[in-house]
Amino acid sequence: MAELPRILVVDDSRVVRISLIQHLKGQYEVREEGDGEAAWQTLVLDHSIRAVISDLQMPKLNGYELLERVRTSKLRRLQQLPFILVSGEETEEERAKAKAMGVSDFVTKGAGCTEVLTRLNNLLVLTDAQEHLDAGREQMVQDPVSGLFTRKYLELQAAQAMSHANRHGVEVSVMVLGFDGFAGMGERLGVQVADEVGNRFARMLAGKMRQEDSLGHFGAGQFAVVSPGTAPAFCATFAERVREAVEVARLSVQGQTVALTVSIGLASVPTDLVTSAGALLDLAGERMHAAMQAGGNRTESGGVTPASRPISIHHALELLAANRLSPVIPHLPSLAERLLPLMSLMNRELGLALPVAEIERVLSERKSQKN
C-alpha cells in the first residue's frame, strides 16, 4: 500500500488535536505537537511532512511566529509547504496579517474539522499539480542526469542574447563541441561510461566559462556554449584553449587511459547572416561536423581570424607527456627560439656544451628560406 501523506497538527489543546486526528486518520498520517517551538524542530527534521495545521495562540511560539519561520526558512520545501492557521476568533485583521505572511489558508475552529479537512485536501491537490508543473519545466530546462541546459533552452538563451545584441549593437557567439569518435567510444566502453566521460568534460568546460555564458547539450557527445557579447575572434581563442585542454587530458576510464579530442564549430551574429537562434546553433553544429570530417581535433570558425596561435612551451610538454608528437612538430622552430636563452643559461651555469650557436644558425637559415 502507498504511504499516506504526513500532516503536522500543532495545538496546545490535546482535545483539539485528538478531534482533528480523528477526522484526518484514514486519509493522512498525523504527527502532533503541543507548541510552536516543538513544531518548528519537527518540520526541520522530518522531510516527509506535506502540510501543517496550526493553532494561532500557543505557548513558546505562536502560529504567526511559526508561519514566519517557515516562510523565511532557507529550506525550499518549507517555504512552499501548505500551512493552515486555525483561530478561535478570526478577525479581518488576523486574516490580512496571515495572508501577508504567506499563509495557505485561514479557518476558524467553529468551522469544524470537516471544513479543515476539505481545505487541506484542496491545498494538497494544488501543491501536487504545482510540483508536477515545476518538474516538467525543470526537465525542459535541464537534463536530469547532467544538470546541463537542454538544447531547447539553449535556443531560448540564444534568442534572448540575439535580441539584446540587435538593440545594443553587440555580438553573440555560439560554440558547438563534439567528441571525435564518440559513437566508437560508446561501443568500446559502453554508452553509460561514454556519457559519464561527456559529463566530466562538461564539468571541466563549465569551470572555464564566464558566468553569463550558457552551457548545454547539443547531441550525443556534443555540447554547445552561448556567449552573449563575445566577438568571434575571442570565441575562437577560447575554443582553441578548450580543444588543447582536451587534447592533453589523460582520462582514466575503467583502469585504462583514454585519449580524447574534440572538434569545434563556431558561429556568430552579425558576422554570420542568420535570422534565428536555431539557425545560429545549427550553423555552428554544421561547422563542427565539417571539422570532424576534415580529420577532427580542430576548430572550424567560418573564416574568422585563425584560432590557432603559437603553441606554449607548457602545452608542448603536456603533449609530449601524452605521447602526442605530431601536434608539436610544426611548432619546433618557434619553440627552439624561445628556449635559446634558457639553453645559454644552462651552458653558462651548468658547464654544459649545448650547440647553442649551431641551433641559432639553423633557425636563422630556416627563417631566411621561409621569407
285 touches 265 (CB < 8 A): yes
Cell of 218: 547539443
Which residue would you say has higher pLDDT here, 10 or 138? 10
Quick: pLDDT tens for 41-87. Answer: 999 888 889 889 888 888 888 888 998 998 888 887 888 888 888 87
> Is there a contact between 79 and 70 (Cβ–Cβ < 8 Å)?
yes
The pLDDT tens digits of the residues spanning 282-291 come to: 999 999 999 9
- What are the DSSP calls for 306-360, one per residue? -S--PPPHHHHHHHHHTT--TTTGGGHHHHHHHHHHHHHHHHHHH-----HHHHH
* Spatial separation of the C-alpha atoms in residues 341 and 346, rounded to whole Å: 9
Strand partners, 215: 225
Over residues 304-333, the pLDDT tens digits come to 764 445 677 887 888 788 777 877 887 888
Q: How far apart are CA 178 and CA 155, in angstroms?
A: 18
Residue in this structure with the C-alpha cell 496546545, named with its chain if needed: 12
The CB density around residue 136, as the number of other CB atoms within 10 Å, is 10
Does the pTM surpass 0.75? The reply is no
Place of cell 577560447: 238
The answer to whether the CB of 268 falls within 8 A of the CB of 172 is yes
Of residues 222 and 88, more confidence is placed in 222
Check: CB of residue 224 under 8 Å from CB of residue 232.
no
Which domains are seen in the chain, by residue range?
Answer: 6-141 (3.40.50.2300), 151-309 (3.30.70.270), 312-371 (no CATH)
